[in-house]
Structure 1
Amino acid sequence: MTAVSLKQKLRHKIDLKTKPLGALGVLEELALQIGLIQNTETPEISKPTIVVFAGDHGIAKKGQVNPFPQEVTAQMVYNFVQGGAAINVFSKTNAIDLIIMDSGVNHDFEPHLDIIDAKIAFGTNNYQDQPAMTLAQCEDALNKADDIISKIQSKGCNTIGFGEMGISNTSSAALLMAHFTGIPIAECVGSGTGLNDEGIHKKIQILSEVYQKYNPKTPEEALATFGGFEIAMLCGAILKAGALNMIIIIDGFIVTAALLAAHAINPNVLKHCVFAHSSNEQGHEKMLHALNAKPLLSLGLRLGEGTGAALAIPLIRAAVNFLNNMASFESAGVSTESENA
């Protein structure tokens, strides 16, 4: 079946449900998108999973762009493992599998912990002085993410969301946003984990100097220059999930920055993406606009961890379930014509 004919069949199926045309709004567009991703009139959501990638950033050691010390990254990873974070609560609430990934945290985790060890290094370099990582390290991160997503998909998962943890990763995301969208760096920088106005002004000044220091030529070089190991892995994970025709749930500011890089490498990945929410982090709405993306939720979130993705999954399930299970006018014996016509 061609994509055009499948789209027509899906639209016809949606329109004939027992409702006025378009009455389910965004859920109708979501059902159509998921049907096209899975190339079927009867899509399904199987073993939805969220992967949280954690990594540290060299610039965090100076404490100039973030109010929290670098050590918080490792502390939050322990919190994930112990089930105490918001992403744990929301994943459990919505029956979502949760996987925690050490992409490059500046800490040695005990081997018995329920963490996948994909560590590239103990945090990135400080891009004030040199690129965050080498091209070889960036390639390693992309490849490791490729393998991880392949394994998750092979176990029956067809719907995957992504989250992150990394003190100072909003700085990397802002730099990547400026690079891939051309939006001035001052419009990309926000409060992150809670900077005040003075802190934001200082962050803009520092990141402007970093941005002007480099001129990366390729998406991979931009990732290596400005990114974190968790962001590079997010990029690789998005690319692989798209290649496997998975539904990709994009969380907030950091994950969308990784998507900007993935989109620059392969624009086709965008059709697989469902945008969970509009973050309260300065710049995210502009990112979404640059991608012509319409988020499902607007809850004032700016936590990261994949929390927005976890909250969006019930809506994705609802879109698929109404398409498959809601009666049509014909099956329900409901007239489609007005009695007064």
Structure 2
Amino acid sequence: MTVIIRKKIKVLVVDDSLVFREFLARGLADDPLIEVVATAVDPFDARDKIIKYEPDVMTLDVEMPRMSGIEFLRRLMPQYPLPVVIISAVSDTVFEAMAAGAVEFVVKPDPKNGRSLNTVINELKTKVKVAAMANVSQYKKTGATMQSVKNSCRSGSHGKVIAIGASTGGTEAVLSILKGLSADAPGIVIVQHMPPVFTRMFAERMNDVTALTVKEAQSGDRVECGHVFIAPGDKHMRLVRTGSGFTVECYAGEKVSGHCPSVDVLFESVAREAGAKAIGVLLTGMGQDGAKGLLSMRQAGARTIGQDEQSSVVYGMPKVAWQLGAVEKQAALPAISQLIYSML
């Protein structure tokens, strides 16, 4: 992934640990495109530093004394929208942080899973650059509401499938769409760029707060009405036709379009197996993963949707798809669920 930066990104590092705070600051400062303008020990210190230094991006620890990083985000974003990269241990609290307004997250070092200090710094440098391009000026919740649960497929849903791809900013975008769909919607398959373990946590969260049955996908899962399958964080997922229906196949492989799982891999399989019986949706994200796959879907007769620039955290993937002619209709995030139903 290539991120074009025209000037140095001013970064504020917030962490209560002196050792880790200085490690992050030194590591980020090694990048010629990043300038660490200040560090802060807690949200109260960070508040003052934000006003004084006006950073472009803030890195934020979740667990801190006096006020958690999540509570700080909830108070900060409505008053002073700022791109934030959360630094957290492996925990579903990252999704609370994303819901509060963070645009990216990095997992802390952990010798048990091979995450070295250098790995964390390299990931953080990349995600700070992505965050610097994020649109948070109109930060708000979508206000989508959960539809009533039904026991049978909605008319027009039989034998159809909805395929969704997303990256930066996608966790809340996907949640918004799923909350706007009821349990009689067609089967849904999703690639959200995210590390292993977190895809399972993400699926569990979606399962708890929507009317749909959501799980991390496993090979052989049947794509049926009211069911949603999230690609595992370290495997590609593709759609497979089985008789009159569909299942998914998950497998390890090389990165495609810079990612594993790849949206292109999923969309290409949906184009091949489902054709005109599918709807493709490409959401916020950096890069171009999913754009060519969405074009293949449209050429195969599928209906296709791209998130618009104003509601995207990063208008990268849907922009490339729009430029390729892969997007039939662009829509703001709050309108996509109803657009899906109208296309059915």
Which TM-score applies when normalising by structure 2? 0.32
Return the structure number with greater strand share.
2
| Larger RCO of the pair (alpha carbons < 8 Å, separation 6+) | 1
The higher radius of gyration belongs to 1
Which TM-score applies when normalising by structure 1? 0.32
Return the structure number with greater helix share.
1
